Amino acid sequence: KADDSPILGLTWFNHLPTTALYGASPTGNVGYVRYNHHHAAAGYQDEGVIIKHCRTSTFKHLSSISINSTDDYFMTSGFVPDVALFDTTTGGMIGLLTDIHSHFINILRFANHSPHIFATSSFDHTCKIWDLRLPNHTNNNSSSSTLRPSSSIPVFTAYTGCLNV
């Protein structure tokens, strides 16, 4: 059992095809699940098929989770106007972008082939595209190249004009 709360976010690693990240709400628990395809092919049911799960982070009111194309980072969003960036190796939070929308974020997704580009969609009737490489998203005081989101200026904003975002 991965969590006592409903699992609302699920994303597969791109380079580890039997490993996924899950996110539960309202607890905000995020964890890894590893699937054993050999046991599944042999006809095992639940026991042995999921061979590992561990909680790594939390993001309260989570509704969406996405991993980037290089499997280095994952992000979470939820029933808040914020998103969080995490390191997949340590599970630790790298940074938090706060109030990037004026209403709850419905979903966020990393781009398929650009590891620093992601998009958000909100109940504020907007979709926004973000680039974590931009200076306004990194901590310029840091001597490392680690991404540390610090502000919230999107690369592009599309106003949908309706609630169907």
Give one DSSP letter per residue of 110-165, joined into a string: E-SS-TTEEEEEETTSEEEEEETTSGGGS-TT-SS----------SEEEE--SS--
Total number of domains in the chain: 1
Lowest average pLDDT, out of 14-28, 93-107, 137-151, goes to 137-151
Q: How does pLDDT run across 2-23, given as a tens digit for each residue? A: 778 888 899 999 999 889 998 8
Q: pLDDT grade, residue 103 (50/70/90)? A: very high
Q: Would 110 be classed as within a structural domain?
A: yes
Q: Give the pLDDT of residue 83.
A: 92
Q: Is the pLDDT of residue 142 over 60?
A: no
Q: Give the pLDDT of residue 7.
A: 87
The alpha carbon of residue 111 and the mean position of all alpha carbons in its chain are separated, in whole angstroms, by 12
* More confident position, 46 or 107: 107
Contact 35, 53 (CB under 8 A): no
Q: What pTM, to 2 d.p., does this model score?
A: 0.79
Q: Give the pLDDT of residue 32.
A: 86
The rounded percent of the chain whose pLDDT value lies above 90 is 37
Residue type, 19: T
Q: What is the mean pLDDT of residues 121-129?
A: 93
What CATH number should be reported for the domain holding residue 45? Answer: 2.130.10.10
**Burial level of 68, CB count in 10 A (0-12/13-18/19+)?**
buried
Q: Would 165 be classed as within a structural domain?
A: no
Structural domain of 75: 7-159
Q: Which helix (H) or strand (E) holds 38?
A: helix 37-41
The rounded percent of the chain whose pLDDT value lies above 70 is 73
Q: Would 151 be classed as within a structural domain?
A: yes
Q: pLDDT grade, residue 139 (50/70/90)? A: very low
Q: Give the pLDDT of residue 86.
A: 92
Q: Would 21 be classed as within a structural domain?
A: yes
Q: Would 112 be classed as within a structural domain?
A: yes
Q: How does pLDDT run across 57-75, given as a tens digit for each residue? A: 778 888 999 999 999 999 9
Q: Would 65 be classed as within a structural domain?
A: yes
